[in-house]
Structure 1
Amino acid sequence: MKKFKYLVVALFAILMSCDGDDIDIPESVLPTNLMVTSINVGDGTVNFTASATNANYYHFDFGDGSSALNNEGVASKTYDMIGDNTYTVKVTAGSSQGKTTSETIDITVSVAFTDPVTVGFLTNEDSKTWFLAASQPGHLGLGPAREGIDGDWWYPKWFSASAFEKCGTEDSDCLCDDELTFSVDANGSISYTLDNKGQTYFNVGHKAVVGGAEDIDFCYDFDTSGVKSVVLSEVAGNVPEDQTTGIQMNFSDDGFMGYYVGSSTYEILFISDTELYVRTYDTENADLAWYHKFTSAAVVDGGDEESLETIYTNLVWSDEFDVDGAPDAANWTYDLGAGGWGNGEAQEYTNKADNVIVEDGVLKITARGSGAVGGAVHYYDDVTLVASGGETSSIEDFEGDAPVFTDFGGVSTAVIDNPDASGLNTSGTVGESTKNSGAEVWGGSFFDITTPLDLATYSSMEIKTWSPATGAVVRLKIENQANADEFFEVDASTSVAEAWETLTFDLSTAPAFNYDRVVLFFDFGVSPSGDAAYTSARIKSENLFEFTYGRVEIRAKLPSAGGTWPALWALGANFDEVGWPATGEIDIMEHVGNNNNTISSALHYPGNSGGNAIVGTTSVETAISEFHNYTVEWTPDSIKFVVDGELVHNSLVNNATTPFNSDFFLIMNVAMGGTLGGAIDSEFTEDTMEVDYVRVYQ
């Protein structure tokens, strides 16, 4: 250690003895005159310039945890925090000898929320026009605001799925004419124009805006001209992630989307190339949320506004039904049997000439009533909870408003006058359960109750029943509507025939679930045989003619009797592989005798099936007395429904995400009753759908 110290001293002495003119000793220089400027160029980007005397480098601390270092004194920073935010930026200038000086400046940066996917869907990357999806359930809906009274999520109550709920009455039809156009410029700014043809549909709570006198929602002359700007932002509040995109649209200058509730902010619940679904909040009533569903395809109702310009003119398949007898076996096969086909229908399908035949140049599908009740009929009444001490609580006695029954497996249920008001049961009305011939062994029905069963107080359930035979198994199943895995089942058997008795079902061992559904199976495990109450036919081209894309034209005259439900439709050929609704369903024409001369068409596919299908309706005044042409034009880009050459329902912009891009087969049938057919006329004997021809063009 000492030797090292002496060496340093010696070197220092040598250096000091040299001529000072031969050695350039650098001075310690401090950068001076530091100046910092900033330019906000938009979209969150700020350009910085720094200069100082004697500076060799510049360090930028951007105030958000990020920094940059360079020799030029120039830096660019893009901030990404949404909204208006202020940052303290520190710039340090340094010399090569380590001397530094610093300056700070405060900058305010505005960053608009954006989402390229949403912008692309909304504007189709340029300009796009949207229309009210008046043919779809939920096209205009009402529900409580974001948080329920206990913080629970509340769902909207939908208005009718019918296009004519809002489009067919004078006080609201102006809503269905609106065209909403969104455009985006090169800078990503969104503009919006509402063309409402001079009239606006006003919520009654906002009638003062136009000096309205009506105490209902009404169409008023109201000018909405002018272009509005639209800014996207994140949604704040108690919104479940799976119920929203997390994005809302904010319109300038009081812009709105067709229905006037005073709001200019719309939360996007769902958006795609073809559908836009939004929610907004009423400025006069903060507890109300309004729901709008839009489509990118214009819906034309009425049948007289636009003619179909087909792209398909080459006839590739047809049946002209010009040979009498059974339908051509090269073109058609049959669905046979009963069981309701998933819709609670009452008919049994056959291939008998009484139900399906070609004669006089037309195909005739005839639904017939046998004149007698088919299958097995049971009656029941006074569904009652019973406590161990004898205390009772009535669940349903069928004397007031009838419950809403849901039938399955070939069973039909109704409330009727008591057919045997004697013995144990002299009440006026009872439940009737008809298990049709050929029904599934598990066929039954259920009704829901508003107050869950109190099984802490009551340990059993009694039901008065009337059976045509002894030894019939009656199964009671209680369920939780919200969780199908929570249920309890117990059986009892009838001990008398053609008389009322009381069956008791032990519920003492039922798990402690929230039971608010009562399901009953009469003749459980048995499929009744014998003549069905109603017979009909369903023919199909499955495995004989299947096709992708084309124009299908069917000329038909329809039955009119109450309860008839004729249909001309197509089903995905991969039905046996993927099931329904994944396979897709195209309903070219449906009609019900309980609403004669109103024609509907529909599309069923995942997310839009059953009661949520895309549906369009139109009036055809002579549908039951004359032949009309029912057509679907199915292309890779769209599906359009047509009656007599006139477009009545432009329902879908087709794309790769739908199941409508592979083979389908044709089906024609007449069902009886069920979820759409409704009540069957008690005097029904028979009625026929006549089909003149079926033609497919590609």
Structure 2
Amino acid sequence: MKKLNYIAVCLFLALMSCDEDDIDIPVSVLPSNLVVNTQNMGGGTVNFTASASEANYYHFDFGDGSSALGTSGEVSKTYDMIGDNSYTVTVTAGSTEGKKISETLDVSVSVAFSDPETVTLLTNDSSKTWFLAASQQGHLGLGPARDGIDGDWWYPKWYVASAFEKCGTEDSDCLCDDEITFAVDSSGELTFELDNKGQTYFNVGHKAVVGGSEESDFCYDFDTSGAKSVVLSPVEGNVPEDETTGIQITISDGGFMGYYVGSSVYEILAIEDDFLYVRTYDTENADLAWYHKFTAEAAVDGGDENLETIYTNLVWSDEFDVDGAPNPSNWAYDLGAGGWGNGEAQTYTSDLENVKVEDGVLKIMAIAGEGEAAVHYFDDVTLIDAVGSSQTLEDFEGVAPTFTGFGGTETTVVANPDVTGDNTSANVAQSTKALGAETWAGSFFDLSTPVDLVTYPTISIKTWSPSVGANIILKLENQANADENVEVSVNTTVDNAWETLNFDFSSASAGTYDRVVLFFDFGVSPSGGITSGRIKSENLFEFTYGRVEIRAKLPSSGGTWPALWALGANYDEVGWPASGEIDIMEHVGNNNNVISSALHYPGNSAGNAVVGSTPVATATSEFHNYTVEWTPESIKFVVDDQVVHNSFVNNGTTPFNNDFFLIMNVAMGGTLGGSIDPAFTQDTMEVDYVRVYQ
């Protein structure tokens, strides 16, 4: 089109007596001297630089179906095909008049497979140890290979499935001691190490590796110490996407994952934060695939002691087989809030939504309601000497101090919301304790001059609280050394009104106290109106000595604190801990799948109780049996028939020789439950049965 326009112009000008010297007609020029350079940057990235004389643009055909067009001649391309690959690249330099030249070159690119998400799940970004999931069906399984008859997929058929079968017999129990650690080394490479305690469980077809003579699978002395490198790669073959991750692990130097079948390659069928499911192929029979389940939690460690009970006569039970409220012949309710000294957030009710029998199990449910943050106000922090003279430390009327909150509390200076009674000043400090805040949440502000407690042994503060009996703690600290501190606790006596509280520091030791720390409603976390259930057999079934077995599945939400326990029936006469307390099982959602048991009695109660804990990998997803065997001579705590800890020596001096009754509940927050998940809505403890044998 442009050329025709010039011809038209020339004809027109010819009629006007013009000549060629008056017109500058563009000439189409062919680009020349095309040069293409490449720089392999690693990881599949190649930088291309092209240059040519008289070129106005460059076109790159990268040889993998993609291309790029630009004017600078510089472009970066990242290839994503895994492995060592070669690509034929064509680079074209062209002019705007349609002239162009091309160069063809071959580039070689190596792309290593990477899957950061899988590496993170295997290693927790640094190091993670995996254990055989001995409590799970199919922890070691045998099934057909990936490609079955006519290429069809065969899902594994388990015939080696029982945890007892592998962990309870001498010829195979070494498998259950294995610890597998995946780690990321200093160079960022994935490593693997199997600690098999010097023994390996061998498939009988591979016994020649150690000169074995057994006619079946057996544990042989075979040490596998030492770290090995690991390569992740895609799985090839007939692999349905919903049955595998499509990723496999190859371990260097003949490394293997516990059970020896000659293979070092493991396909990852499923992986989660605490669960790893893999498949490998027997090198002696490629038609057979072995399946392994691992957990990131160690198995319950009961040593070699299985419970050999002396109590076999069932004397009382509840199987929870009638829907509705719990059987009133077996259970009564505890009702109320606060957890009786534990600073808990829930209110216990007898409502069916909190405690009910349904589908053959008892369900105790903690449910969040419509709550709100706890708001307190304070003003006029004042120093008072021995004769009543005073000096204002802070009245919030001038430049506001800088508040630092912690644990979920925020403090700011606001207009006085209640200009009546003890306080008619304009400005006050507002302390807001958020829903789910820590029970110890508070805030502080710093002083330019330390408080002189010798001259001023009393500090008064005007406070406004929404409730009577709220515990307010005033703590004085040294900014440079928080271990140097004193504190005084006072409870509010009115609600929704101002009052002046006096904090007596007359017995405090001398120090440099230049930080003021305030805790409002200490020991309580705003719950959002959480309700829950607590039932007991008090006055309905009480007993001395026996074996109590409770089968339960536990809640997992942050802040939940389920408990299965027993309390001395004379607690109302002698008080606690003189009555004694047997905590068969406790669990906290902020430390999932670790259960604890405890004994409370004089000299060993609250934070000084006799406590033991143990991992139970599926405590929140599966039912487990939690048992105590209580005799005149001992108290033993048991999980799934294995003694786990606390073989307490009982005698006539302890309170564990009188009647006790059973209690089951789900608490929220408090001294053990900790911080409640702000997103908490509800969670449930399910109990299949309670049985007492004597």
Using the size of structure 2 for normalisation, the TM-score is 0.48
Using the size of structure 1 for normalisation, the TM-score is 0.48
